[in-house]
Amino acid sequence: MYSADLPSWLGIVLLLAGSVSACGAEPNEPVAEQPASFADELELRVPVDLNPDPNVLEINLEARVSNVELLAGTTTPAWTYDGAIPGPLLRAKVGDRLIVHFKNALPEATTIHWHGLRIPANQDGVPGHGQAPIEPGGSFDYSFILPDAGTYWYHPHFDSAAQVSNGLYGPIVVDDPAEPQGIGDEVVMMLSDIGVRADGRLFPNDAGGDLGTLFGREGNVLLVNGRIAPTIFARAGLRQRWRVINAAQSRYFQLALPGTSFVRIGGDGGLAESAEVSSSPVVVPAGRADFVLEPRPQAGSSGPLPLLWIPYDRGFGTAYAREPETVLHIDFDGQAPAVSPPLPELTRDVPELDAEHATPVALDLTLNDASDGSFALGINGVPSWQAQHLMARLGETQLWTVRNTIEWDHPFHLHGFFFQVLDVNGVAPKVREWHDTANVPVNGELRLLVKFDERPGMWMFHCHILDHSDAGMMGMVLLQ
Ligand SMILES: [Cu+2]
């Protein structure tokens, strides 16, 4: 059910949903639709399914350097899945099997991590634990069941900051066939940024040296599904559903759409227990958000409506002297605003984990001085390459207190398992939902609850500012 603090319009819509039929249109009135070219500029590639079984998605996927056109008239030698940014949209039903025959045609080793999916450890793409690095010219077959509906993504877990920022990432949507129709006209939106010079060449991955690593590198160009400021062609007032994925190596996407509220219906692990309304939601690196919204032209303006990136202060002057940037445009078809049918009731039971009997685990995110005068990031004062792994028992619930001792926010990610946020700086979230990534603010504290299920193995956790994880802010938990 929805919480009581929704704005009045949504409250009315939801009340109507319970008492009258689903559509407010007169019998002879055509149902309003989005223009035919609705999300064409954001279209994602779909891979060829090699398997006739409707319950199996089986594909070939190749990582390779390919020339793409990001800035008009220039050529960028990007790192790509199947030749373009982002990689193809992998879409299947909950319970389906995904089989990926992966080939590495990059000049460097790589792996694929299936971010957010609760799959076996040997499919998780962590080199040295689940699998060996896939060397140039090598291949690997991934095969696993998709256990949970929601929005996920895939990316390398080898030299991650460089490989992801060079363009290696792709979206995954796992559909729940039982989900009600009519949530909104869907757009899968993979947000990112890339560091590209005016002539199309990429900036070096080590630009800015140690300081660049410490800040976390952000690209100078925003991308939506690999394109710069594309346009959605919309009928005003008609509800859209945006499945947003933040694939940037460091950038937090704080979004705003003038005059429009975002109703957040879910996040990392599918639908939340209830909806939450925000005017400027933040999607942290690697996080996902499922929004519904009903954009309309701004009063007195006939031009397209810009979706804005709003500078977000993730510490140490990261928002200083920065201006909002346009992520995409929404252009309206000029017809009178449509009245959207009521939002269907989206019930999701997210059972509360038992905090009282959970095993406490303390993790401090730290900046460590190395003996040679340089620095390393770490957890509990130790960089990942020197760290002892944590332990967990099958079926155990643990309460992790993740304390940030540094002047930068860190988006904390646990592989392979969903967790619940108990509180951030002592404040409990309004809505219970499943996460695999959550923010630990500057000098703040995140407490999370995780129940380890029956999938033994070595599981990774790390900051998802990929410069930080590569610099040592990473650890492992052995589940047995
Ligand atoms: Cu970090």
- Distance in Å, CA 157 to ligand 1 centroid: 16
The residue behind tokens 């590209």 is 196
- Distance in Å, CA 411 to ligand 1 centroid: 6
Pull the structure tokens for residue 447. 């407490």
Pull the structure tokens for residue 177. 């066939």
- Is the pLDDT score of 20 beyond 70? no
- Distance in Å, CA 235 to ligand 1 centroid: 40
Q: How many CB atoms lie within 10 A of CB 257?
A: 21
- Distance in Å, CA 250 to ligand 1 centroid: 8
- Distance in Å, CA 402 to ligand 1 centroid: 12
Name the pLDDT band for 17 (thresholds 50, 70, 90): very low
Cα-Cα end-to-end distance for the chain: 37
- Distance in Å, CA 241 to ligand 1 centroid: 30
- Distance in Å, CA 459 to ligand 1 centroid: 18
Q: Tens of pLDDT along 200-218?
A: 999 999 999 988 998 999 9
The pLDDT assigned to 120 comes to 97
Mean pLDDT of 183-206: 97
The whole-chain average pLDDT of the chain stands at 92
- Distance in Å, CA 41 to ligand 1 centroid: 33
| pTM score, whole prediction | 0.93
- Distance in Å, CA 469 to ligand 1 centroid: 7
- Distance in Å, CA 377 to ligand 1 centroid: 8
- Distance in Å, CA 438 to ligand 1 centroid: 11
- Distance in Å, CA 439 to ligand 1 centroid: 9
The pLDDT assigned to 6 comes to 38
The pLDDT assigned to 316 comes to 86
SS3 assignment for the chain:
CCCCCCCHHHHHHHHHHHHCCCCCCCCCCCCCCCCCCCCHHHCCCCCCCCCCCCCEEEEEEEEEEEEECCCCCCCEEEEEECCECCCCCEEEECCCEEEEEEEEECCCCECCEEECCCCCHHHCCCECCCECCECCCCEEEEEEECCCCEEEEEECCCCHHHHHHCCCCEEEEEECCCCCCCCCEEEEEEEEEECECCCCCECCCCCCHHHHHHHCCCCCEEEECCECCCEEEECCCCCEEEEEEECCCCCCEEEEECCECEEEEEECCEEEEEEEEECCCEECCCCEEEEEECCCCCCCCCCCEEEEEECCCCCCCCCCCCCCEEEEEEEECCCCCCCCCCCCCCCCCCCCCCCCCCEEEEEEEEEEECCCCCEEEEECCECHHHCCCEEECCCCEEEEEEEECCCCCEEEEECCCCEEEEEECCECCCCCCCECEEEECCCCEEEEEEECCCCCEEEEEEECCHHHHHCCCEEEEEEC
- Distance in Å, CA 98 to ligand 1 centroid: 31
- Distance in Å, CA 247 to ligand 1 centroid: 15
- Distance in Å, CA 316 to ligand 1 centroid: 13
Mean pLDDT of 162-170: 97
Q: Tens of pLDDT along 311-325?
A: 999 998 888 889 999
Pull the structure tokens for residue 247. 């694939």
Cα–Cα dist 254/357, whole Å: 36
- Distance in Å, CA 287 to ligand 1 centroid: 14
- Distance in Å, CA 191 to ligand 1 centroid: 19
Name the pLDDT band for 2 (thresholds 50, 70, 90): very low
- Is the pLDDT score of 452 beyond 70? yes
Bridge-based pairing state of the strands 397-404 and 437-440: unpaired
- Distance in Å, CA 443 to ligand 1 centroid: 12
Residue 210's nearest CA partner among 11, 468, 474 is 468
- Distance in Å, CA 280 to ligand 1 centroid: 22
- Distance in Å, CA 214 to ligand 1 centroid: 8
Q: How many CB atoms lie within 10 A of CB 322?
A: 14
- Distance in Å, CA 111 to ligand 1 centroid: 21
- Distance in Å, CA 285 to ligand 1 centroid: 10
- Distance in Å, CA 217 to ligand 1 centroid: 11
The pLDDT assigned to 26 comes to 52
- Is the pLDDT score of 27 beyond 90? no
Mean pLDDT of 433-462: 97
- Distance in Å, CA 368 to ligand 1 centroid: 13
Q: Between these two residues, 287 and 130, which has the higher pLDDT value?
A: 287
* Residues surrounding ion ligand 1 at CB below 5 Å: 410, 463, 465, 468
- Distance in Å, CA 396 to ligand 1 centroid: 27
The pLDDT assigned to 319 comes to 86
- Distance in Å, CA 410 to ligand 1 centroid: 4
- Distance in Å, CA 33 to ligand 1 centroid: 43
